[in-house]
Amino acid sequence: MSNERTALICAVGTIALWSTVATGFKLGLEVLEPIQLLFLGSATALVIFCIAAIRTGWPRDGFYAGEGLLLGVLNPFLYYVVLFEAYDRLPAHIAQPLNQTWAVTLAILSVPILGQKLSLRTIIGILVSYGGVLILLSQGRITVATEFDGLGIFLALFSTILWAVYWLFNARSKTSAEALMATSFLIATPIIGLVCWAEPGLPPITPQTMFYGAWVGVAEMGIAFLLWQRALRLTQNVARMGQLIFLVPFVSLIMIGAVVGEKVGASAWIGLVVIVAGVLLARRETTN
């Protein structure tokens, strides 16, 4: 009972942090370029992961350079470059639900990468989720023509492929989560810094930019990830705990409307509900 209570507290903490990140992305991108925000966030997360990994014996027990390079290029480098560019081009209440389809992308990519088969229920769930995407982008109109930036939509959906590939490779790793994240971010952060330095230049260091960088590094990448890992390790019912994470996009839309000031219409809520329903349907067979 004590472990379950602790797991629930960690899960609630994760939900609270991840529910803020779409708002943090959008506000941060008002004062920073995508790669600049990523550099500050990645540097913040690097410190967090190194502290957590050192407590587990890293790097004394292994540095995992090859594995860290592969995963670090995927996340945080490529994934967040693409995701932040999508947020820079789209309203947050559009980019955030599109990003939620990563779980559907994961199911699709598990076929060629892991050799798994798609059940009829999973296929239906995938179709339902992408039906939600059409509702979201069409703003509830009969046609699917959209007024939103086409490249931004492509990038938001492409980011789900990068995230799914990252987790498929991550699932095969035998390395502890803390050590692997510390190694990945230790390798990726200097790469991000070099790209940032080359174009558009290193971010200005002001209280405002440091705040947004810390917001991304703590709430999206660092503390939230560690809390979620701890919740999954402590609970006796991973499937039930995993369902809680679907509260995040709904709380996030409320924050986007209240803090960013975007008008979140009914079609955004309906589209998100349909997307999440499809994801849950596609996941149900593997989580029962």
**Distance (Å, whole) CA 110 – CA 113:** 5
Q: What is the pLDDT of residue 2?
A: 77
Split at pLDDT 50, 70, 90, the class of 143 is low
Q: What is the mean pLDDT of residues 186-208?
A: 95
Q: What is the pLDDT of residue 145?
A: 55
Q: What is the pLDDT of residue 162?
A: 94
Split at pLDDT 50, 70, 90, the class of 98 is very high
Split at pLDDT 50, 70, 90, the class of 232 is confident
Q: What is the mean pLDDT of residues 112-125?
A: 84
SS3 64: coil
Q: What is the pLDDT of residue 116?
A: 78
Per the CB < 8 A criterion, the answer to whether 61 and 156 are in contact is no
* Inter-axis angle of helices 21-28 and 79-89, nearest 10: 70
**Distance (Å, whole) CA 101 – CA 224:** 20
Split at pLDDT 50, 70, 90, the class of 146 is low
pLDDT tens figures, 48-68: 999 999 988 888 767 778 888
**Distance (Å, whole) CA 62 – CA 177:** 13
Q: Is the confidence at residue 171, as pLDDT, over 80?
A: no
pLDDT tens figures, 235-271: 887 767 777 888 999 999 999 999 999 999 898 999 9
Q: What is the pLDDT of residue 140?
A: 66
What does the block give as tokens for 248? 């995040």
Q: E strand or H helix at 99, and its extent?
A: helix 92-99
Rg (CA), the chain: 19
Q: Is the confidence at residue 165, as pLDDT, over 70?
A: yes
Per the CB < 8 A criterion, the answer to whether 163 and 37 are in contact is no
Q: What is the pLDDT of residue 287?
A: 44
Encode 101-134: b = buried (16+ Cβ within 10 Å), e = exposed. Answer: bbbbbbbbbbeeeeeeebeeebeebbebbbebbe
Q: What is the mean pLDDT of residues 4-28?
A: 93
Q: Could you give the C-alpha distances from 88 to 133, 248, 268, in angstroms and in order?
A: 19, 21, 18
Q: Where is pLDDT greater, at 283 or 179?
A: 179
Q: What is the pLDDT of residue 192?
A: 97
Q: What is the pLDDT of residue 96?
A: 93
Q: What percent of the chain has pLDDT over 90?
A: 59
Q: Is the confidence at residue 111, as pLDDT, over 90?
A: no
Lowest average pLDDT, out of 30-34, 143-147, 158-162, 199-203, goes to 143-147
Q: What is the pLDDT of residue 104?
A: 87
- Per the listing, tokens 């389809």 go with 101
SS3 65: helix
